[in-house]
Each structure stands twice: as C-alpha cells, then as structure tokens.
Amino acid sequence: MELIPALQFLKLKEIPQAWVDTVWDVEFTESKPLDDPIEDDLTATGDKSFRNLYQCLLAHADDQQQPAGRDKVSQSIWALLVENGVSVKSLVATLSFFVLAGKAKVANIRQRVSGLHAASLYLLLLGLPGSIANKVLHEVLLETCLDMTSHCWPQDSGKKRKKDNLKSSQAEGKRSKPHRKDNPEMEVDEEEEGEEELHFSGQDLMKIRDAVVLLVQSILRLLQTFPLKNTPQSASNCTRIFSKLLYFEPTIGELTFAAGQDLTKLRSVPEMAFYGLQLLFSPKHGDQKESLRRVFHRLLYVILMMNKGNRGRPTLLVPCQDILTTRNQAINFVCHIVEDLKELAIPFLQILLQHICFQMVEKSEFRTHGAQAVGMLTSRMASTDYACFVKWLFNFSRHSKMVCRLFSVDVVMVLLEQSERRMEECTDMELAHFLPHKFLIQNLLFARRMDHSSTVQGHALACLAHCLELPSFNATRAVHNLFSATGTQTMLEGETTEGNLSSQQTQKIYRTLPFRTVEISTTDSSSCDAKENLALLLQRVQDSKTNVRKSSLQALKGLLKHDVIPMSWENLAVLSERCRDPAVSVRKKALQCVGELLTAKPECRVVQKAWLQGVVPAVVDSENSVQEKALEALDQVLLSQVKLYSTTRHLDANQRLTWELLELLCNECQSLSRYFSRAFTIWSKQNKFTQMFITNLISHTESDHAAGAWLLLSKVVTSSSRLPYDKILDAWDSMVSSKHVSVTTCCHILCVMGDIAVHLTEDTKARVVDDLMSWLKTFTLSLEVISAAVETLYQLGNSKDVKQTQSFLNQHCGELVSFCETYLAGIMLSENGAQDLNEELMVKHLHTLGVASLHCPARVGKRMVLLVESVLTTHSDKLTDCQEELPASLPLSQFKANSLSTRVRAHGVITLGKLCLQHEELVQKYLPVFARELEVGTEVAVRNNVVVIMCDLCVRYTNIVDHYIPNISACLRDTEAVIREQTLIMLTNLLQEEFVKWKGSLFFRFMVALVDPVPAIASLCEYCLLYLLLKKNPEMFSQHFIECIFHFNSYSKHKSYNKFPQSEREKDRFSLKGAQHREKRFRIYRFLLEHFTDTQRFNITIKINQTVLACFADEELPLDADGAEILSETFNILSLKEMKLQAISVLSGNTAGEEPEEENMVNMAKAVLQAAQKKVVSQVQKKAFIENSVPLIISLKSLLEQKHSPILRDLMAYLQVTMQDYPNEVKEFFSGDEQLAAEVEFALKTAEKDREMEKQMDNCSLAGDAKTPTAQVQGSVPGSPVSSRPLIPFCFATPQLPHPNPLSSRLAHIDRSRQEEHTKSIALERTVMPKGAVNDRAISTPKGVTINLTFDEGVSAIFSDRGSLGRETSVLHVQTPEQQQQQHWSAAVERAVSSPSEEKVKV
C-alpha cells in the first residue's frame, strides 16, 4: 500500500495551519480543539487505518536497513511528503491530537487505542533517518508517547468485569465509582486516585493490549536506530517505563536475554521490556555506567517487591505468584547483564546488593526472598568481589537498625548454602579470610547471639542450629569449634573435603543416622571459650524474651543431635524443663525438640528419660493445644507400637523404644505415674483402647518386658469391659508363688486385680482374699506393695451394701491390726524388746497398722494408740493405766531418751497421724505435741513427717488446726532445706484449696521464702506465688506491700501495721532488719512491684504518702534511729524504677531502631492509643504528685534540715529520680519552696552533665571499633555505635548500652586537652574521601551531584530524603586506610545535600 493514500484518513490538508502552529507553540502540553467536522472525522477513525499507515512506514523503515540505496530511500520518504504537499509539522501535530486525547483519564476505548497507535506512528517516524533534519523530534511529545502505556491501560483492569461485553463497549461514557487499584506498579500519582474511571470489557482490554504491544515494539525499534545519548531524560523514562511493564502480564515459559532478538518473536510485553532494558546498555544511548546505574536502580525495587513511585517511600507489593515470577526474572536478567558486561557491571552489582540489604523490611517473607536474591547475585561474582561484599556485610551486621542486623543473618544462611570458596582464589590476600564459611558463622552469625534485640538474638540462634544440617563440612566444623574443645566434626556420607582431613593424625569414625562423625583434635577454639559459649547458650534458654528461648532450644537441640556437646543429663534437663515454660509457644517448641532428639537418638537412655520428663507432665498442661501435642506424642511413641508379641519375631526399633520407655516409667521415672494416669483418663473418653489393643498388650505380660505391659494394663483395665480374666488370674498365681517379681510389677498386678474385682466370682474373690491375707501376714512385702495390697483388699470387699463392706473390712483389716498390735506389744512391753529389734520388720508393722486402720477405725483401741505412742516415747507403764494422759505441752523428743532409730520414729509419727485422721479426740490431744516437736525437735525425718501430718489434718479438721498454722509456717525458716521445701508445697496446696487463709504473718513468711539461700526453693516460692496463688487473689501483693516495710524492719511503733501476734523467737527468725539484709528486702520489694498493675502502683504511692510520709511529717512517728531507717527505705522504694507507671516508662523506654518495624507498622493505631494514654496518665500522676507528695516533701525537708538528718540525701535522690520526667516544671512543682526548687534543678543538671560526659567518653574510647582491620575481623567484634551527627559516615556496630570506660575517665580528668585532640583526630581520620576515585554514583545519587566512590571496597554512598532519618546519619561509607589519607569530602557532601532529587533511596 502506498504511503500517501494511507495518510488520507488524517485529513492533513484540511487541518488549519493556525491550529498546527498553536499546538507547536504550547509544546504539546495540552490538547487544542479542532473544528467540529474535522474533529468528528478524526475521532471516528478506526484502528485499521492506523495499522495500514503503520505498515507502510514499517516497510520504508525495513528498506532503510538495507546497505544499498540507503540515501535514496531516505530522500524519497521525506521528498514524497513534500511533493504531495504533506507538512511534517501538520502530521506531527495531528498525531499529537490522538495521543493527548488517548492520554486523558476519561478517554474511551477508541480514543485510547487511537492514541496508542498514533504514539507508535510517531516513534516509528522518529526512527527514520532524516527525522531530526525534518524537525520530527520534540522532547515533550517523545516523553508523552513513551509513557502512553501507563496512561491508556486501565488501572483497575484486574478487577472483575461485567459479563455484558457489548453493553460495556457501547456505554463508553458511563462511569463507575472509583475502585482501589489492584496493580500497584501501574498506579499514578496519589492525587488522581479519587478520580472516576471507565469500565472496559474483555474485548476492550484485548484491543488496548494489542495497541500497547505495537507501541512497545515501536519503542524497541526506536532504540535500535535512534540514539538517546543527547536526551538522557528520555533514556531515564524508558528505564522507568520498561520496569513498570515487567508487571504488565504474566510471561509464558522461560525468558532468554539474547543480544539480537527478532521483535516479532517476542511473545509477551515483559519479555519486550527486558529486551528494551538490554538495548539501553548500548553506548549510543549514553554512558554505559550511567545506564547500569539507572537500570539497576529500577530493578532494585522489582527484586525487593516494592512499588517505587516518583515521590514518597516505596510501598510493599503482595508477594503473589506473578510478583515472585517477575522478581525471579529480574534477578536472572541482572545475572545475564553481569556475565555480559563483566567488570563494568561488578561495581554496580555491589551497589545493588548493598541497597537490597539496606532497604529490606522486617517482614519474614520479604527477608527470605531478599536473602535468596542476594545469594543468586553473589553466586555470579568472582571470589575477590565476593570477599568485598562479605566484608561490607560484616560491617552491615553491626548496624544500629535492628532490621539490618536481622537481615544480615538471613543473608549469611543463604551464603552458607553455596559451595565454599577457596582462599587461594582471592587475588587480594587481605580479603581472603572473608571467604571461608567459618568467618560467616563465627563472626557474623554467632556474633549476633549478644545482640540487644531479642528478635535478632533468637533468629541467630535458630540459624546456628540449622548450620549443622548444611552439607558443608567446614560449616559444621566451625560450629563444633565454638562449642567443643575436641573439635568433633560432622559431615555427610560421601562428601569430599579437599585438604581438610589429610593433615589430621587421629580419626575415630562411628555412625549416627545419615551422618558420619569424625573426631579431630584442633586448636582453633580453647576449652574455656567452648564452655563460655555453651554457658551463654544455656543462659539464653532462660531469657526473658519468648522468641530467644525458643531459638535457644532449637540451637541446643541441634548441638545435642549432632554430638557437638555431650549428651549429658545436665544439658538434656534444660530441654525437658522448658516443657513447663510460662509461654505456650516455648512449651510447644520444647516438646518438639525433645521429640526430634528421641527420633535421632532412640537408643540413648538419657534422651529417653528427658523425653519422658518433658512430655508426660505436659498432659495436664493448662493449655489445650499443649495437652494435645503431648498426648499425640505419647500415643505415637507408646500406644501405637504395642503389637502382638511372638517369641519367633524380633521387635523393631520403634517397639524396642516403646518398651524401654515403659521400663523407665516403672523404675527411674515412677514420679510421673500421676501424669501418665491422667493421659489414660483422657484416652478412655476417646475410646482409644480397642479389644485388639488389649489382646496385644496382654500378650506381653509373659515376656521380658512384662513390667511395662502390666503398667499399661493397670491404666487401661478400667476402660475395657471385656478382658481375659483367666490370664490375669494366672499371672496373679504366678506372682504369689514367685519370689522374684519386682515391687513395681507387683503393685501394677494388684491394681489390675482390684479393678477387675467386680467381674470375679465370689469363690475367686475368696481365694484371692486368702492369698492376700496370707501374703500380708508374712510382713515380708515392701511398703509400696503393702499399701497396694490393702487397697486391693478393700476393692475385693467393696459392695453396694455399706454395712457388708465395713463388716468385711473390720474382719480382714481388723485382723491385720490385731497382728500389728500383738507384735508392737511384744516389742514395747518386753524388757529387752528394743535391743534385738528388727528395724525393717518394725517399720513394716507400723506401716501396715497405719494403712489398715484407715479402713477399720472401730478396731483401733486406746491400747493400740498408746503402743504407737510408746514407739515415740518410753512411757510403757502408761499401757497399764490408760486413764493417764500424755502431757500436751511436751514434744515427742522431750520424753526420756528412746532407743529406737530415727527411721522407726518417723514411721511411728506417720502411723500416729493416720490414727488421728479417724479420731477427732486424738487430734486435739496430739496437735500441741506435734507443734512443739516442730519447734525443738532435732530429727529431720520426724519433723518433716510432722509437717505432712499437720497439713493433712488441716484438710479434715480445719478449724482445729487453723490455730497451729503459724507453727507450720515457721518451718519456712527451718535450718533444713528439705523441710522448708516441704512446708512451702504443703501450705501452697492448702491456700489453693482455701483450707488456710492469708492471716497474720503467713504472707510475710512466704516473702521471706523468696530470698531463701537455696535458689531452687526461692524459685519454687516465686512460681507458687505468681502462677498458683496470685490468680486467686490479684490484690494480695498490693494489700500487704506497705506492711512489708514495717514487718521486715521489725518496726512496731505504727498504730496500724505490724500488730499481729508473734513470739520473740518467730520475730527473730523472720526478721530482715539491718543493713546486712537490705538487698533481700529490696529483692522482695522489686518482686512485688514488678507484678503490680499501674492502678496498684498509683494507689500504693498515694497510700505511702498518707500512711508513712505523713506520719513522719506530722511527727506521729518519732524520727529516731528505727524511724530514720523506715523513712530512708521508703524514699528508696519510691525511687525504684519498678514503682514507675508502665504506661509511661514502657513508651519512653523504647529506643529507636530496636523494635521490629513490621510490628510498628501493624500496631500503629495501638501506639497512638498508648501515646494518648501516656499523656493522660502523666497528667493525672502530675496532679497527684503536686497535691499529695509535694507538701509532704517540703514539710519533711524542713524537718530533716532541723534535725540535720542524713535522710535528706535519700529525699533529694527521690526528687531527682521523680523530676526527670518533668525537668522544665520544677519551679511550678515547688513554687512554695524556691530553695528546694533550685536544689532540684541543680541536681538534675548535674546528673545530665554526668550522663553526657560518660556517653562522650564511651564514644571516644570505642569510636575506633567501627573500622574493620584485617587483623581484627577474625574475632567476634562486638562494636558499638558512635554518636549520630548529620552527614558523618555510618559506623556499623551493634548497639551497646552506654557505660564509662575507666581508662577514658582517667584521661579526661588528667589531661582534657589531649583527650579533645584525640577525639578530633578520630573524626578526621574517618571522614576522608579518596582523590581520583571512579566517577560512578550510587543508585540513588542524583545525576548532578559529583560524589566519588570506591567500588573496589564494594561500598557506595546511600542518601536519604531529608527528615526521614531523625537522628540517624545519612551516609553509608566504608573506606580503606589508604583511601582515607587522600582527600577530605565535606565539600562534596554539602553539594549532595543542596542538590534535590526524587530518586534518593529511603534509608
């Protein structure tokens, strides 16, 4: 088709010249209306006419690619237009008419398609030779045509459309309500979001898409022929447009990035966009370095999955599959460019990696994908460049922002998954030590274990455990060196390690699952360091932060699993103890860890024990999810592995594990029986025990592991209605006749017999009863078997008729009581009975008497009671005169010396207590005796059993025993730790069930147990108070707080406090008076205050003013020595940080950069609410302080000055602490005492100066740590932040709490001038820029700013928008010492600040 006819539809000869001139005059910035007939004709133009014209121009463009006749063809195109009277100026103006109409946001489908076609025609025309000479080029129109894709493609195209396509196509003028934009990459400016948009059907979108494809192809053809070197803004716009088109539509198949591609074969718009970005690297489009900077800057946000507009901070995209696919393609494209341009692209790859790290957000999903991107990009780097990046990453890992340190850990883990690089591959030997995996683990990953952020700590520890799973032998060896002095290593089967093992002398190889463990002696890590690292890890397991404890457990599990640390009970007990952690998530993690350890080490007995100690108690956990997890683990490991037993078939590994665990439960872990029974109670409700399970279980009762089978059977027998009773009776007969059955198995068999008693016939019952009686009368059974046998006897005689049951018990248990009475009489009444006493037999008779008498109280006579009493005393003559009573005031130990052993006397006390349970008159008779024994008794076992007896009696005879609770609680200060612990447990149980109330001195005695010299008892007391007792009485702590001050200082002059009755002995025992006990008192005060609510803190402050300070101010209480101690302690308590309201202290205590950014974003509304709450609470507190505290303080200060009391110092210290929150309102607060106001202001200023001096000296002494000398990088460098100052280089370091340096303090006091010179020298040394550095800029650096950078260090400057950092510095810059001696860079930085840019990267 000829060109001129194809141009006819544009009506070029009918277009008024005046209109054309006007359009050119306004620089194509606005659309000018045409005459109505002409405009209507142009508007009605279809896309077919545009396509015909496009094909004509394209044919001419293709002809011009031929070498022959080039000038001739070029001349004929422009000459043809002139000869036919076609004005190029009019043609361009007419095309702009369509472009501007299609650009409008309210443009309909026809206008948009026509606008896209017109833009394509203009770009194709511009690409023809001679276009510049014929004045086709206009930069504004060019930019508009390039950007037509974002204007014409509907912003809500991803939304659901109406199905009526025809109606949607015709109703072009019908608008809908504005929609939220679904594709953030195609968003326009914020102010346009509220405008209305059109609906488009699927057919409409396909038309626009085809037109967009044609336009993109036109841009690519333009880039192939038309140089953009002289129009850098156009090149920048092309980069921006192509980066946005990457999200235009999903791609099909894998993309290839070949240099010369056929445009017609590119299948998708993103594929064309990548090709366009590749074309921009051509030298004809400008400096290749500048092109690399532009493209990598745009691809940065694609890789980060962010949307970066022209203004404002980048916004996160939803990481859906399309976004992730585009991100992966962008990474592959960068890798292709790096391989293609090689050394030219490496510096910009370093910058790209830095910005990926520096602009990463805290969200875990984005961090994971970002770290993977860093790993993919670094894999294309040479070893030297890789070492430069690792060096930069080392500094980055100590940055003040928490998210930076957190992301550095993610990057390290990705780098560790790559194959290790050899040090000899690095051309710079100073960088070679950055290559090994050992450096990444020990200097980057393990160094974060001490991070101030709990999030970073926890993540680092979790990743440390994962390092042992890596296939790299050197990575596992590095972890071994940290924790093991012997250097035990773990490597995968078949892994080759070149040169690593050849120099080792001794190797011991053994198998552990899929790993081979090689024990190698090494000197890399001393045993001292290994012990310290392990101790630190164990300390982290008890950290206050939940995520740190979880990660520490995971790390500990990994070290144990891979034999890095010994599989000792001390290490495993830490895991099992965390199964009872206060945090639910930690308990679940601990259960998971012990489960994984059991799977990895099923034959290790200590692991089996740790698993039982952790999992079995969890079945009674207060959290249902933890219960379910524990029950699931027990079911999987124990119940599901009970298979039918056969002597011809061996047990597999899982079955052997099951029976070994059950054996442990029968022997070493019998204390877990109660929790284990609870599990079966839950399972029975779920109908867990089938008939097949019972059959399989009974088949094991005659095997080598019969003990475990009887244990399970004793738990499940009550849940099954059908049992093979014959086999159980056979086992009973065998047990009765055998002498080698274990005690535990006997008890379980007796339990089973008792449970099946209701199903037995009367004859069988009678036979079993006879067996039991004959067995019990031998008195050869152990105490546990005796108790179980008597309980089984009760179950055999139990029936619906209560009288019949009691008659049975009186007959058989009474017979046992008579046997015991006869034996005791023979011993106690004979003259030499105690001399030839069989202690074991005596104990068994006493125990049998105790358990049997509980079932037949009527058979217990006064003679029997006196016989038991005679075991404790030698008043045997009283047996002949039962009317004489035991003196109630004498303890058991105050009678005539008894020749019986302590063990016999301890069992005698227990038996006497059981007799008292059934006879109230005995309780009243012996309680005074028991109480006196607690005071003066010397035998530990006897006193311990007395505590148990009295607490048991309190349950049944509460009113009688209540008078003796002070005697029981006095044992909380007993000299023996076992009695203190027993008393604490028993009293807690009574308080829980409300058999005992918080009366008298009981609360304060519990407080004294908080500071028990045995840490385990103090910890147990804290647990009892917080998790068992405080929940029942939340006001308990605040109600007793003020009285604690008077009680522990033994001060009784107050009219209300410390007035409950106490003996002098009790006062002395529980007194914490004096300077030697001050630390204990304040430990109690802090514990109480930490668990106050803000309301309680506020009220207690007011109450202290009213009941303590006011009494001294009004001189109701004398200011003597004791009074001065109380007043001083009160001021010290009011100065405690725990006394400060949390609503104020928590918000003001948060430091910038330490809280997770993700949480800050999510909880923004909560933070605003807290800030408002803080303001309100602060105002209320201020008002209360002025009204209640200030008058008292002024009065007390005057009184103390009159008496020249040293307590004045404590008062001023309290004011200094309190007024720190109101430094500018001191005069307002103390308007009634100007002198006091001046003194407080002076104290505040002095304290502030001292803090600033300490901070300055700390910074001066530690500023040099920010460098990374080669000699120091091998160790773990903690680093510390320097004081932030605008435009000073970053010092990447882990934030440390400020602390004075002793050496710096001496220097400051001795020679201040030398210290100042030293500070200046440090500042100058770190702020030098090299001369003649490479003329490249960072991604975000404005083009007009001349800042030189050194890319051989893999570092760039990162500038931020003003005001986005607050107090943080704005430049990231690390230089070598050689470069720091060349040029000062302050002038360049000033120019950078003065030059605005919209492309500055947010830091």
Of the candidates 1069, 1019, 1017, which has an alpha carbon nearest to the alpha carbon of residue 1048? Answer: 1069
| Contact (Cβ atoms closer than 8 angstroms) between residue 387 and residue 348 | no
- Render 948-1010 in DSSP notation, one character per residue: HHHHHHHHHSHHHHGGGHHHHHGGGG-SSHHHHHHHHHHHHHHHHTTSS-S-TTHHHHHHHHH
Q: What is the model's pLDDT at position 1039?
A: 92
Radius of gyration of the chain (CA): 44
Q: What is the model's pLDDT at position 412?
A: 93
Alpha helix ranges (H) inside 725-801: 725-737, 743-755, 762-777, 783-797
| DSSP 8-class letter at 524 | S
Q: How far is CA 1050 from CA 449, 583, 1010, 1070, 1131, in A?
A: 46, 39, 18, 9, 18
Q: What is the model's pLDDT at position 1168?
A: 60
Alpha helix ranges (H) inside 127-201: 139-146, 148-152, 165-170
Kindly report whether the global pTM for this prediction surpasses the value 0.85.
no
Q: Say how far apart CA 573 and CA 1157 lie, in whole Å.
A: 36
Q: What is the model's pLDDT at position 1062?
A: 82
Q: What is the mean pLDDT of each run of 10 residues along the chain (1403 residues)?
A: 74 82 86 77 76 81 58 58 79 87 85 87 83 82 87 63 38 40 41 53 87 88 86 88 88 75 80 88 87 91 86 84 91 91 89 92 92 92 92 92 92 91 86 89 88 88 86 83 59 36 33 32 50 87 89 91 89 91 92 94 93 93 92 92 82 89 90 89 86 86 86 86 80 79 88 88 90 90 92 91 91 92 86 75 93 91 88 53 43 54 91 91 91 89 94 93 92 93 95 91 93 93 91 91 91 86 84 90 93 88 89 88 91 88 57 41 55 64 72 82 86 80 65 69 71 66 39 35 32 33 36 38 32 38 35 36 35 38 33 34 31
| Contact (Cβ atoms closer than 8 angstroms) between residue 578 and residue 617 | no
Q: Say how far apart CA 473 and CA 475 lie, in whole Å.
A: 5
- Render 754-769 in DSSP notation, one character per residue: HHTGGGS-HHHHHHHH
SS (H, E, C) 548-583: HHHHHHHHHHHHHHCCCCCCCHHHHHHHHHHCCCCC
Q: Say how far apart CA 1143 and CA 1170 lie, in whole Å.
A: 7
SS (H, E, C) 426-439: CCCCCCHHHCCHHH
| Terminal Cα-to-Cα distance of the chain (whole angstroms) | 57
Q: What is the model's pLDDT at position 351?
A: 92
